[in-house]
Amino acid sequence: MELSASVSIRHTDSGLEYINVDSPLCTGKVFLQGAQLSEFTPKGKGSLIWVSADEDYQEGKAIRGGIPICWPWFGVHEKIDWPIHGVARKLLWRAEDVHEHSDHIIVRLSLPMRLVDKTYWPYDSKLEVEFKFSEQLEVRLTNTNLGKEPFTLSQALHTYFPTSAIEQTQVDGLQGASYIEFGEGPFMQNEVVTFARETDMVYTQAQAVQTIHTPEGVIEVARENSTSCVLWNPWIEKSKRLTNFRDDEYHTMLCLEAANVMEDRARVEPGQSHTLATIIRWI
């Protein structure tokens, strides 16, 4: 991979390798483990990505925060001994290329499919992710079917967003969507979402754009090739059970995740590709 003037390879104190972006447009970090973005900050503005202060960046463990890639299933599999959120977020991806332009930088990684246990994913396929860094962030996760039979998968770009006060935070743009929460529903979302308890809503038939209203400003979250998304905050009791997560950090974060789940699962025909995308920015 040929690096640009604004892009370098660095390591954490624990030895994890990441791609560092430091340009006139923004700063960012993408770890090779999990192809997990852990930082995106447009120049002159606040960070758009949250990571726990207790994160210790260990090999074989997903980072608590950033944008974990949930693939080829989201959440708990029907085979309960299979890993939650699939396998991609703990595997070592390969950095493919970097392209620097006057108004954006593109970083592309791929998952070596030989690393994927065929018990979990027996299909002949290719998985790539592209990060486009500018004044906004675009993340595109592409599945390509190289085999002779179609396959279906669920997936999510599990984005953690920052806020200084979850009780003063609202999510607009989910009105009219259907959701399931804690296995119950479906219910209809009629109002702007506020936070006063644990939130774990899986939405379908959702509009393509939502806005997160925080004390620091408004974050726009858009999706492509997705009519489903997930809204999550662990609140008080669950925070105490999470690893690499301080008991009070529920107060400073929320997840709003572009997804292909439930009836919105992605079906990919032989020779075809499907790209799930999320685009985030301050407005």
> pLDDT (tens digit, 9 = 90+) per residue, 247-263?
999 999 999 999 999 99
The CATH number of 7-282 is 2.70.98.10
Closest CA to 171 of 214, 235, 227, 234: 214
Write down the pTM of the prediction: 0.97
Q: Assess whether the previous peptide bond of 24 is cis (omega < 30° from 0).
A: no
φ/ψ region of 205 (left if φ > 0, alpha if ψ in -120 to 50, else beta) reads left
Beta bridge partners of 266: 153
Kindly state the DSSP code that residue 76 receives in the 8-state scheme: S
> Quick one: DSSP state of residue 222?
E
For the question of residue 85 being annotated catalytic, the response is no
> Residues 6 or more apart from 78 whose CB is under 8 A from it?
none
Q: For residue 229, what are the CA distances in angstroms to 67, 117, 221, 250? A: 14, 27, 11, 20
Instruction: Write down the catalytic residue from 128, 158, 249, 251.
Output: 158
Q: So what's the pLDDT on residue 2? A: 65
Q: Which of 104, 93, 80, 81 is nearest to 36 (CA)?
A: 93
Residue 134 corresponds to which tokens in the numbers above? 């500018």
**Residue 259 contacts by C-beta under 8 Å, 6 or more apart in sequence?**
70, 74, 154, 155, 156, 157, 202, 226, 228, 229, 230, 276
99 is catalytic: no
pLDDT tens for each residue of 75-110? 999 898 999 999 999 999 999 999 999 999 999 999
List the structure tokens of 220. Answer: 């726009």
**What secondary structure letter does DSSP report for 259?**
E
- pLDDT at residue number 245: 96
Q: Cβ neighbours of residue 44 under 8 Å, at least 6 residues apart?
A: none
How does pLDDT run along the chain (283 residues), one tens digit per residue? 766 779 999 999 999 999 999 999 999 999 999 999 999 999 999 999 999 999 999 999 989 999 999 999 999 998 989 999 999 999 999 999 999 999 999 999 999 999 999 999 999 999 999 999 999 999 999 999 999 999 999 999 999 999 999 999 999 999 999 999 998 999 999 999 999 999 999 999 999 999 999 999 999 999 999 999 999 999 999 999 999 999 999 999 999 999 999 999 999 999 999 999 999 999 9
